[in-house]
C-alpha cells in the first residue's frame, strides 16, 4: 500500500513538473509566433505603403485592422481580414487598401475550394485582377473556368468586405451612399436591379406612407433551387424589418444579396426623385443646403437662359481633405453636364453627394 502511495506521489510530481514545463514552453512559443506575425505585418505594411510613419491597431464593428499614417498623420493604408462563403465553405483573405480607397493587396489566407479548380483563387494572376479597384468600380473579373461559384464568391466577398472595412476604418474612403430614409420616400412603385450568382435580378418595390409595402421579384437567372428560396424569404424579411440590412436565406447567399442589392437600387431611384427641369427655371441665383458627412453644406446656384452657369459652395464642415476635392470637381461636372446626377469624386462620396443634394435643393426652391 505504501509503495502504491509512493509511486502515485512520484507520478503526480512528474505530471506537475511536465505540465509546468509544457505551459512555459507554450508561453515562450506563443510569444515567438506572435512576435513573428507582428514583424511580418509591419514589413507588409511598409512594403505596401512606403510613406507609412506610424501605425495602430483598431477595432470596430467586430473587426480588427492595422491603420498606417504618414508623418503628417494622414491615413495612407489599411490592412484587414475579410471572409466569404465559397463552394467548399469559408474563404478567408487579407486586404490592403491605400489612402485613396484603392485595393493594393489581396491574399488568400485559407479556403476549402476544390483542388485544381476553385483553389485557383490563390493564383497571383487571378488575384491581381482586383488590384487598383475602388468601391466605385465593378468587381467583375475573368472567372476561373469550371469554378464559377468560387470566382463569384471572391468577387462579391472582396467588394462587400472592402466596403465594411472602409466604413469601419476609412471615413470618407468608404465610397458608399448614405443610408436611405425609407420614411421620407414618396409613394410609388420603383424598379431596381442587382446581381446574384448571375446578373439581371430585377424587382419592383412599392412604397406607401413611408413604408415598403410590397416587393415583387420580376426576374432572376440564378440556379432555381437557391433563387426560389431567396425570393420567398428575403422580400418578406425586408418588409417585416423595413430595412435592406437583413439576413440572407440559408444556403442562398448570392441570390439573397442580389435581391437585397436590387431593392436598394430601387430605393435609391426613389430617393433621387423625378429630377429638376433646368431649362424651365427662371434666371436667378438660388440657395440650397445638403448633408455630406456632416450637415450644413450650402451653395449658391446661378441660372441664366435655362442653364446652370455658376455654382458657389459657400459652406461645408466635412473633412477638408475630402470636401475640397468634391468642391473643386462636382460644381464643374454639374455645369458641364447640366445635371445634378453626376459621378461622385472617388474617395469623397459623402461630400460629393452633399454638394449635389444642396444644388438640387437650390433648384427646387
242-256 core/surface letters (b: 16 or more CB in 10 A; e: else):
eebebebbeebbbbb
pLDDT at residue number 318: 84
Q: What are phi and psi of 335, to 5 degrees?
A: -65, -45
pLDDT at residue number 301: 94
pLDDT at residue number 173: 62
CA-closest candidate to residue 311, choices 325, 292, 298: 298
**273 vs 244, higher pLDDT:** 244
Specify the residue for cell string 505540465.
19
pLDDT at residue number 5: 58
CATH topology of domain 278-364: Sufe protein. Chain: A (3.90.1010)
The reply to whether the predicted model has a pTM over 0.85 is: no
pLDDT at residue number 20: 62
**33 vs 277, higher pLDDT:** 277
Q: Where are the domains of the chain?
A: 1-48, 54-173, 182-272, 278-364
Q: Which of 17-21, 108-112, 167-171, 247-251 has the highest mean pLDDT?
A: 108-112
Quick one: the chain helix, strand, coil %, rounded to 5? 45, 25, 30
Percent of the chain residues past pLDDT 90, beyond the cut: 31
The span from the CA of 97 to the CA of 101, in Å, is 6
Query: Do 278-364 and 182-272 fall under one CATH topology?
Result: yes
What's the pLDDT tens digit per position in 204-225?
999 999 999 999 999 998 889 9
What's the pLDDT tens digit per position in 276-315?
678 888 999 999 998 887 788 999 999 999 999 999 999 9
CA-closest candidate to residue 91, choices 193, 163, 165, 160: 160
- The yes-or-no verdict on residue 330 having pLDDT over 90 is yes
CB atoms within 10 A of CB 339: 15
Specify whether domain 182-272 bears CATH 3.40.1280.10.
no
CA-closest candidate to residue 149, choices 93, 94, 226, 228: 226
What's the pLDDT tens digit per position in 135-144?
877 787 888 8
User: What confidence category does residue 15 fall into, taking pLDDT thresholds of 50, 70 and 90?
Assistant: low
Residue 83, C-alpha cell as written in the block:
471572409
User: What confidence category does residue 321 fall into, taking pLDDT thresholds of 50, 70 and 90?
Assistant: confident
Least confident among 35-49, 106-120, 275-289, 316-330: 35-49
Distances (CA, A) of 248 to 79, 159, 234, 259: 27, 17, 7, 10
The span from the CA of 155 to the CA of 150, in Å, is 9
**286 vs 60, higher pLDDT:** 286
Percent of the chain residues past pLDDT 70, beyond the cut: 86
pLDDT at residue number 52: 86
What's the pLDDT tens digit per position in 256-265?
888 998 998 8
pLDDT at residue number 200: 86
CB atoms within 10 A of CB 323: 25
Task: Determine contact, residues 158/130, Cβ cutoff 8 Å.
Answer: yes
Concatenating the DSSP letter of every residue in 102-168 gives: -EEEEEEEE--PPTTTGGGGGSHHHHGGGTT--TTS----PPPTT-HHHHHHHHHHHHHHHHHHHHH
pLDDT at residue number 228: 94
- The yes-or-no verdict on residue 327 having pLDDT over 90 is yes
Task: Determine contact, residues 69/135, Cβ cutoff 8 Å.
Answer: no
pLDDT at residue number 10: 66
Amino acid at each position: 500500500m505504501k509503495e502504491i502511495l509512493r509511486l502515485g506521489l512520484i507520478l503526480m510530481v512528474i505530471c506537475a513538473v511536465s505540465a509546468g514545463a509544457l505551459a512555459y514552453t507554450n508561453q515562450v512559443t506563443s510569444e515567438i509566433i506572435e512576435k513573428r506575425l507582428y514583424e511580418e505585418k509591419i514589413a507588409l505594411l511598409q512594403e505596401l505603403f512606403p510613406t507609412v510613419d506610424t501605425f495602430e491597431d483598431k477595432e470596430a464593428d467586430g473587426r480588427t485592422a492595422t491603420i498606417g499614417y504618414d508623418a503628417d498623420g494622414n491615413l495612407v493604408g489599411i490592412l484587414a481580414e475579410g471572409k466569404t462563403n465559397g463552394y467548399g465553405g469559408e474563404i478567408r483573405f487579407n486586404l490592403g487598401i491605400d489612402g485613396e480607397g484603392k485595393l493594393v493587396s489581396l491574399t488568400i489566407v485559407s479556403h476549402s475550394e476544390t483542388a485544381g479548380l476553385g483553389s485557383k483563387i490563390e493564383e497571383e494572376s487571378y488575384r491581381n485582377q482586383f488590384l487598383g479597384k475602388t468601391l466605385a468600380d465593378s468587381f467583375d473579373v475573368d472567372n476561373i473556368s469550371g469554378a464559377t461559384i468560387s470566382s463569384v464568391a471572391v468577387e462579391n466577398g472582396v467588394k462587400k468586405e472592402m466596403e465594411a472595412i472602409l466604413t469601419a476604418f476609412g471615413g470618407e474612403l468608404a465610397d458608399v451612399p448614405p443610408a436611405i430614409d425609407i420614411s421620407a420616400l414618396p409613394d410609388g412603385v420603383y424598379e431596381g436591379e442587382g446581381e446574384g450568382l448571375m446578373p439581371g435580378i430585377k424587382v419592383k418595390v412599392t412604397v406607401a406612407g413611408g413604408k415598403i409595402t410590397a416587393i415583387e421579384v420580376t426576374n432572376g437567372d440564378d440556379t432555381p433551387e437557391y433563387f426560389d428560396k431567396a425570393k420567398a424569404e428575403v422580400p418578406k424579411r425586408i418588409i417585416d424589418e423595413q430595412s435592406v440590412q437583413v439576413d440572407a436565406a440559408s444556403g442562398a447567399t448570392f441570390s439573397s444579396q442580389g435581391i437585397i442589392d436590387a431593392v436598394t437600387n430601387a430605393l435609391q431611384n426613389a430617393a433621387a426623385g423625378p429630377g429638376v427641369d433646368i431649362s424651365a427655371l427662371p434666371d436667378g441665383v438660388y440657395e440650397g443646403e445638403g448633408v455630406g458627412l456632416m450637415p450644413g453644406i450650402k451653395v449658391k446656384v446661378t441660372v441664366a437662359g435655362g442653364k446652370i452657369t455658376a455654382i458657389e459652395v459657400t459652406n461645408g464642415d466635412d473633412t477638408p481633405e475630402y470636401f475640397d476635392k468634391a468642391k473643386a470637381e462636382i460644381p464643374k461636372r454639374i455645369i458641364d453636364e447640366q445635371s445634378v446626377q453626376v459621378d461622385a469624386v472617388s474617395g469623397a462620396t459623402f461630400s460629393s453627394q452633399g454638394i449635389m443634394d444642396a444644388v438640387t435643393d437650390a433648384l427646387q426652391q
